[in-house]
Amino acid sequence: MRKILIIEDEAELLDEVACILKHEGFDVFKASDGISGFGLAKDKIPDLVLCDVVLPQMDGFHVIREFKRHEVLASKPFIFISALSERQERRKGMEEGADDYLTKPFTREELLKTIDVRINRYEQMYSGIEVFFQNQTNELGELKDEVKSKEQSLKKILVQHKNLQLQLKEKENELMKETLRGEESKNILKKLNLIVENELYRPTGTKHKSDVLFKMKKYLNDKSLLLNNWATFQLRFNHVYPGFTEKLTERFDALTQYDIVFICATKMGMNTSQIAHLFNISDDSVRKSRYRIKKKLCLKKTDNFVQFTHSILSDE
C-alpha cells in the first residue's frame, strides 16, 4: 500500500484530502505544521508528500529544504498546495525542488490525477534505475570473472617464470663449474712449465728423462683439453644465453677470446675477485682489463659494465 503524507494547517481541507486518499486505498498520515510533518516523514518514509506553503512553525519552503537534505526523503515526490493568490510562492516552490503544484481550490479528479502522475513517474524512474544498476551489477560480475580468470592465468605465468628462472640458475651454475674447470686446465699448464723448468736443469739418467718425458706427455694431453675448452665454453654459454657471443662478436669484431670470456664471466655475475681467480691475475689487472674492454666496446668510463652485458640480447 502506497503511503502519502499530508501537511496542511487547515483542518477541514486536511481531513477532506485524507478521506479521499484513504478511499482510493492509500495509507495516509496527517500533520498540521511543518515540524511535526517533517518528523512524521522521517518516521514513516512516505511515497509522496502533499504540503501547504503557508504553515505554522516551519513553512513549506523550509520543509522541502529539509527533505532535500535527507538521504531517503530527498527523492520522494513533493507536491505543494497553494491558494490562487500565492503565484510568486508557486514559482519559488518549483525552484526549491517541488515536483508539482496544486492550486486551491482543487477537485477530487485534479488531486488524484496529480498524485497518480507523480507516483508513476517516480516508479518508472526508479524502475529504470534498478534496471541500470542490475545491468551494471551483471557487467561487474562478468568483469570480476574475467579478472579472476586473468589472475589465474597470471599465476600460471608467474609459476612458469619462476621455474624458468630456476632452470636458468642451474644452467648458470653448470656454466660456472665448466669455467672453473677451464681454470684447472690452466693450472695444469702451469705445473707442466714448473716440471720442465726444474727437470731441465737437474742432471738425470736416461730412465729419469723418460719419466720426465712421460710426465710432459701426460700434461700435454691435459693441454689439449685446455685448447678444446674454448669451444666447449662457447657451446655451454650459448646454451644458457643463446646468441650472446655471436651478437657480441658481430657488433665488436676487435674483441679477443680473452675479452669475450671476460665479458661472459661478468654476464654470469662473477665479481672482480672471482674473475681474477679465473684468469690467474690480480684484482688490479681485472680492473685494468675491464677498462680496456670498455674502450673496445665504446663505453664511457662512467657506464655500468654489468648493465651493458645484460643489454646485449635486448638491444635491437
Task: Sketch the domain layout of the chain as residue ranges.
Answer: 3-106, 171-311
CATH domain 3-106 topology: Rossmann fold (3.40.50)
**Can you tell me the distance from the alpha carbon of 178 to that of 70, in angstroms, rounded to the nearest whole number?**
79
Q: Measuring CA to CA, which residue among 113, 66, 57, 60 is closest to residue 83?
A: 60
Write b or e for each residue in 65-88: b if 16 or more Cβ atoms lie within 10 A of its Cβ, otherwise e. ebbeeeeebeebbbbbbbeeebee
Give tens-digit pLDDT for 234-284: 666 777 788 888 888 888 888 888 888 888 888 888 888 888 877 778 999
At 42 the pLDDT is 94
For residue 51, the 8-state DSSP code is E
At 238 the pLDDT is 72
At 205 the pLDDT is 54
At 254 the pLDDT is 87
* Low-confidence stretches of the chain (pLDDT beneath 50): 222-228, 316
At 52 the pLDDT is 92
**Can you tell me the distance from the alpha carbon of 184 to that of 167, in angstroms, rounded to the nearest whole number?**
26
**Can you tell me the distance from the alpha carbon of 38 to that of 229, in angstroms, rounded to the nearest whole number?**
95
At 198 the pLDDT is 67
